[in-house]
Amino acid sequence: MSELDGLDRCILDLLQVDATVPAREIGDSVGLSAAAVQRRIKKLRSSGVIRAIVAEVEPREVGRPITCVVSVELEHEGSDQIDELTSALSSHPGVQQIYYVTGSADLIVTVLMPDMETYDGFTRRFFLDDSNVRSFTTHVVLDRIKTGSAVGVIGPTLGSDG
């Protein structure tokens, strides 16, 4: 884990809201020069704290209005089997997230699809035709209430009442 000071955390918080904010504006907010902000951002990127600077796209606006959260239970949970399935899933443009989890499911997969017919083809290819998939359960999302990839870096610590 990287050592982050309060200024780093403020910069990260501001970038997660809008990564297009100029360094000068961030500097004004945190009390640093634009050059100092740029150096800190460069350090945060090179250390891996900032993995990527990306645009958050509205799925409905690009023809992917169906969101499904799928829990997948495997027959065999060997690293080769997990790697094979997660690699195949990762290459599919409709797969947004894959989590290897504990509990009754082995994987939780979030997929964005244009329609249910396309989703049906997806499940046949990745789940029904895979002899290592014991079962899968699809949860069709009715409303995307809170989404995104922001990580809270300022504010209450884990375990507090905040």
Q: What is the Cα–Cα distance from 105 to 100, expressed in whole angstroms?
A: 9
The Cα–Cα gap between 49 and 16 comes to: 12
Residue 90, H or E segment:
helix 79-90
pTM above 0.75, yes or no: yes
Residue pLDDT tens, the chain, 162 long: 668 999 999 999 999 999 999 999 999 999 999 999 999 999 999 999 999 998 889 999 999 999 999 999 999 988 999 999 999 999 999 999 999 999 999 999 999 999 999 999 999 999 999 999 999 999 999 999 999 888 988 765 545 455
Q: What are the structural domains, with CATH classification, of the chain?
A: 6-46 (1.10.10.10), 59-140 (3.30.70.920)
